[in-house]
Amino acid sequence: MPVFPIIGAVLCVYLMTYLDRDTWLRFAVWLAIGLVIYFVYGRRHSRLRQGEVINPEAELPEGRA
């Protein structure tokens, strides 16, 4: 039932409208730091980048795709 998630989202937006500018600035800084950590970690530990993942679709014979 989509009623409760919609009510929850509306209440969250309502609460967010009353936050100070400094709070939004801190949120933006921590979000940026978190995204940098997430993408750096993902890039360094990617199984595809290390050659462990093989694309099975690339090995199909001609005409079977």
Write out pLDDT tens, residues 5-64: 999 999 999 999 999 999 999 999 999 999 999 999 988 888 777 777 676 676 666 655
**Computed from CA positions of residues 55, 41, 44, 40, in that sequence, does the dihedral angle turn out positive or negative?**
positive
Predicted local confidence at residue 53, as pLDDT: 67
Give CA–CA dist 17/40, Å, rounded. 32
Res 64: pLDDT: 55
Which residue from 8, 47, 45, 56 is spatially nearest to 64, judged by alpha carbons? 56
Question: How much is the pTM?
Answer: 0.60
At residue 46, φ and ψ (nearest 5 deg) are: -65, 125
